[in-house]
Chain A
Amino acid sequence: MNKPTPANPLRLSTDYPELGTAPLDITRRFTSDYFDLERTKIFSKTWLWLAMAYDLPNPGDYVVKELEHAKASIILVRGNDNQIRGFHNSCSHRTNRVAYAPSGNAPKGFTCRFHGWNYGTDGTLNFVPQDDLFPELDLSCNGLTPVATDLWEGSIFINLDPEPEETLAEFLGEFANSYAGFFDGMEQACAYSVEVNANWKICIDAFVETYHFAFVHQSTAAGVLTSKDNPYGRLEICRLYDKHRVVSARANTGYTPTPTEAVIASLGMQQTLNPDFAQAAENRLPEGINPAKLNDWATDILVLFPGTVIYPWTGWFEIMNFIPVSHNKTRWEMRIGMQPATNAGTWLSQEYNSTLIRDVVRQDWTNLEMIQQNIESGAKKEMHLGDQEIMLRHQYDVVDRYINSK
């Protein structure tokens, strides 16, 4: 196992002096006026994670995603030609919605319930009742309004800008090719969602540092990420990209599993927070994961700007997506993806992991609503971000860059 890193308390920020160490001004970053800028300059311009391709396994499968920040309802659909496309959920007639369920299978496309206009799974306007009433209507150019949609490693992203300034690959940048195949073969074990009364940045902030672990998660997950060598679960090896960022978390190699975890491990069905180091050593992860090749690696925290956090564990993953609803409300969705359960044992292993993670994040949410309320009270004018919170500092820096752009 790796020797513990010599205690350099400022190891994450050493390479990034330009971010500074000053307190963060919080007087204007969380207001509704500021949120209006974020809506137009960030969420309407950048690529947004929206779903997994495995949500749409069959032609005609669709999901509808509400993006309140753009007042947009977006349909993602796998066409009968097997291609995944995104559309605004709006009829070309008088703009009503055409898809009403949050998900489903619609091989015959979408029919507006107002006057029966029908669109194919490729968005084409197929049928208009009594079309002789519309002498100027050209069906061929009145399909559903497309939304720029692209895939990266099994994730579906959209861009609300009708003419995105960069492709998804350009937006993701240098690390995009280094995750090849990681998500292959995994499917949804569990998903959670909740609307939290807190600003989207406050919410993300809680999931990109482990400084809080020994306190907030003392009863649950602290044991697997804190150790004698690393009592506070300090993160290692931060890489700040242009907009995105990643940092690695070390596991506790001396962790004593609970009796239930021990049973799960003894049956060889371990897909849990406590890594199986033997399995991890065998498991060839793509180059971009565990970039420093730590022997006691637990997971990475990969933040895709603006609001998606991916944790690739050995053989499974979590993806958290933070959708701003308003300046002080966020809808958070978490996907836990794993290899499909083949028997009761692997299913119960998934159940253990999903249950534990649920109770871990429930420990986070209570704090965030209190933080939001206090920010709105104006009691404090600034927050202090330590070295271990460099992921937050970079996020605010990138937000600033977008807000201050033309």
Chain B
Amino acid sequence: MNPTPLPQAFEYLRPFDEWALASVQERMHKRIDSDFDDLKRFYDTFLPNFKDAVSHLNNFSLEEMPDAEKNLFRIAASFIEAAVAVELLGVPDEPSAYPIDKIDVERASIR
């Protein structure tokens, strides 16, 4: 299988390319199924450069994004999930939170 293409400046995210997920359902499930340490590693790696990544992506149209940027965009969207878990919750998911499987979500995917 070809590796997920990434913009060259963001090759450091290669270890986290499994977070290049198009739909919010995939992203939220990956977050709650992850170990907190893995979320923290993802978060700690991306946070210092998150602003640069967003600035880079802002140069591209949402409608016609090259594959490499699209993957970066998807990883950035997953970073949002990880950030909520790491910065606010302190766990991948709060045990008392209403089960995520019971909630329907409508949100445009990154296609």
Query: Which residues of A does B touch, CB under 8 Å?
Result: 188-196, 219-220, 258-260, 263, 266-267, 341-345, 347-348, 351-352, 354-356, 358-359, 361-366
Contacts and interface: CB of A to CB of B under 8 A. Distances in A.
A348 B83 contact: no
A189 B77 CA distance: 14
A348 B62 contact: no
A366 B97 contact: yes
B106 interface: yes
Given A267-B54, A344-B54, A359 B87 contact: no
A266 to B, nearest CB: 7
Contacts of A358: 28, 103, 105
Contacts of B76: 344, 348
A267 B51 contact: yes
19 contacts: A190-B24, A190-B106, A193-B103, A194-B103, A219-B89, A258-B88, A260-B47, A260-B83, A266-B51, A343-B58, A344-B60, A344-B73, A345-B57, A347-B73, A348-B77, A355-B24, A358-B28, A358-B103, A366-B98
B13 interface: no
B8 interface: no
Nearest to A223: B88
Contacts of B35: none
B96 interface: yes
Nearest to A216: B96
Contacts of A192: 103-106
B104 A193 contact: yes
Contacts of A361: 98
B98 A365 contact: yes
Given A259-B87, A356-B84, A356-B88, A190 B105 contact: yes
A260 B22 CA distance: 21
B68 interface: no
Contacts of B79: 260
Contacts of B84: 352, 355-356, 359
Given A348-B54, A348-B80, A362-B97, A354 B107 contact: yes
A361 B98 CA distance: 8
Contacts of B83: 258-260, 352
